[in-house]
Amino acid sequence: MPAYAWKGKNRLGEVQEGVLVSDSRDAAANTLKRNGIEVINVRLMASEGGKSFGKVPAKDLAIFTRQFSVMIDAGLPLVQCLEILGAQQKHKGFQRIIEAVRDDVEKGLTLQAALSKHPKAFNDLYVNMVGAGETGGILDVILQRLSGYIEKAVKLTAKVKGAMTYPIAVISIAIIVVVIIMVKVIPVFSAMYEGLGSKLPYPTLVCIALSNAIINYWYLLAIAIAGIVIGLRQYYKTPTGKLQIDTVLLRIPVIGDLLRKVAVARFCRTLGTLISSGVPILEGMDITARTAGNQVIHNAILKSKDAVEQGRNISAPLAETKVFPAMVVQMVGVGEATGALDAMLSKVADFYEDEVDNAVANLTSLMEPIMIAILGGIIGFIVIAMYLPIFNLANVFGKD
């Protein structure tokens, strides 16, 4: 029998995890409920010797899901759909995953169980929505919603990357230019000034010292920079580090506002899609928290989820976290009152995705003069520092 990894809460409210061998996912969930466990998630584990084919590009996943939806809607058998999609898939890793899913479905596994064996390609949101579609007999509709969700997520990510491309490119060019000046230009001036015998101005001494440090100890600088980058990446993988760094990022002017809007748009889009697909609200909030992309938002969603478990509405706990904008809280409250929470969340997601467009435009327009000013200031300081001794000599000769 297959093994299922489960997560749930005991009678004391403590979160527990474990592995359970059972005939099916539903049977595993029922066993846990009989043992007093409030089920949060039950996932089929990959069998021993199973292969992990790595992550799949979101664009390929969106195209696959859209085509899958059309085929199911046309009445093609599930196995045949997977066979056709696997044969035409250009991404080799994704092709092997689709073929593995097809083989599992042929052996009698549900599509949800087959997909859950490949968590790097199909996340919890994808798997749970497919399970809801299978149970409700609306798999084609669910796949259509999924493809729309993935396509919008891809666009949102592309917008953020596009906003960061310009400042990163300018900073990179600035660093390269400064290094070239330090290594090639300043040593020429330094050799020329050595024969003057006069005391050099402080800015000139600073530039020469930096030039000598880069030329003679470049490997130490490279090791230090690599150590800082690796250290921050490792620290970010810890719960405390991720929370602290994400908190700092949200407080950065302009950039923090953009990241908050992206996180809010992702939260509304994900939760709205899950609820409209029939996924229970608590499970939907748990999945949404894991896909939030920001630890501050993640913690706020889980805190709100705990309040909902105690019988409260969603809007009030969201307001208490002081993370979500007032407009989001109000719209969620209206959605709860009217029984159209999923539709309201989708509208809020649309609004904040448009806000992300505006934030990206503002960031780009603001970064351009700032980057030019910074680059011009650095180059200007170096030029002035290296010509100051010449200006001083000119003044001395002028007095003579």
Could you give the angle at which helices 202-216 and 341-399 cross, rounded to 10 degrees?
Answer: 120
| pLDDT reported for residue 110 | 84
| pLDDT reported for residue 195 | 67
Residue 120: count other Cβ atoms within 10 Å of its Cβ: 12
| pLDDT reported for residue 48 | 40
| pLDDT reported for residue 394 | 56
pLDDT in tens, 61-104: 888 988 998 898 888 888 899 999 988 888 888 888 998 889 88
pLDDT average per 10 residues of sequence, the chain (400 residues): 72 76 70 80 58 70 89 88 89 88 86 83 82 81 85 81 77 84 86 73 86 88 91 87 88 83 86 83 83 84 86 85 86 87 88 83 78 84 83 55
| pLDDT reported for residue 226 | 92
User: Which tokens is 337 given?
Assistant: 């009152």
**For residue 254, what are the CA distances in angstroms to 158, 257, 296, 329?**
18, 5, 18, 22
d(CA 130, CA 279): 10
pLDDT in tens, 248-263: 988 888 788 888 888 8
| pLDDT reported for residue 230 | 92
